[in-house]
């Protein structure tokens, strides 16, 4: 693996204002802005929302994010846990329609040692998988090939969510409302 030494990057890493356009947690702020498509929010219910990962492992990689700001799973109320779980179920349905994967990887990164980049607002990753979707590029070439633009992924998932029962499609730039 090639290594690049870039000592000037430490200033960016250690800066106080991590994102000058975001005053607080992005998972708290982005849904409040009403710019769902711009922030890759594709579906939502009262308790959680589905957001595309801007750096996907595979096409269709999403995060299901509770609207409660916490890094501790045990802090979520039963009502929020149920709403989050129901939205995950609907996400599997929409992803199956949109992408026809052979399977899924799903999980949470909890705590600073888990490898997650946003540790103070828990979120569940759902990654669609296909037989043979891994190849030599990540191993030999240290390169991950993403075969679909995030915009195309958004369109396909938005359409699939809108076709589910008990959903309301308010428009192509607004997250589909999913009733529990």
How many CA atoms, within 13 angstroms, populate the side-chain half-sphere of residue 108? 18
User: Do the beta carbons of residue 107 and residue 129 sit within 8 Å?
Assistant: no
Give the three-class secondary structure for 151. Answer: helix
CB-based contact 178:87 (threshold 8 Å): yes
**167 three-state secondary structure:** strand
Q: Are 66 and 118 in contact (CB under 8 A)?
A: no
- The maximal CA–CA distance of the chain, rounded, in angstroms, is 52
In whole angstroms, give the CA distance from residue 41 to residue 92: 16
Closest alpha carbon to 126 in 150, 149, 101, 147: 101
* Active-site hit among 39, 61, 84, 123: 123
Task: Tell me if residue 69 is catalytic.
Answer: no
**Which residue numbers are catalytic?**
123
């Amino acid at each position: 693996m090639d290594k690049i030494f870039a000592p000037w990057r430490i200033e960016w890493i250690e800066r106080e204002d991590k994102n000058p356009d975001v005053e607080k947690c992005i998972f708290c702020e982005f849904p409040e802005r009403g710019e769902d498509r711009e922030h890759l929010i594709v579906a939502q219910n009262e308790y959680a929302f589905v957001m595309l990962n801007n750096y996907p492992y595979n096409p269709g990689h999403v995060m299901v994010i509770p609207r409660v700001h916490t890094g501790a799973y045990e802090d979520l109320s039963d009502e929020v846990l149920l709403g989050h779980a129901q939205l995950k179920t609907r996400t599997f349905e929409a992803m199956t329609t949109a992408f026809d994967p052979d399977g899924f990887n799903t999980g949470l990164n909890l705590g600073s040692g888990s490898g997650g980049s946003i540790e103070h607002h828990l979120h569940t990753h759902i990654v669609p998988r296909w037989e043979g979707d891994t190849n030599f590029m990540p191993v030999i070439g240290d390169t991950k090939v993403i075969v679909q633009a995030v915009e195309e992924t958004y369109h396909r998932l938005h359409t699939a969510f809108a076709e589910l029962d008990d959903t309301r499609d308010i428009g192509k730039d607004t997250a589909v409302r999913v009733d529990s």
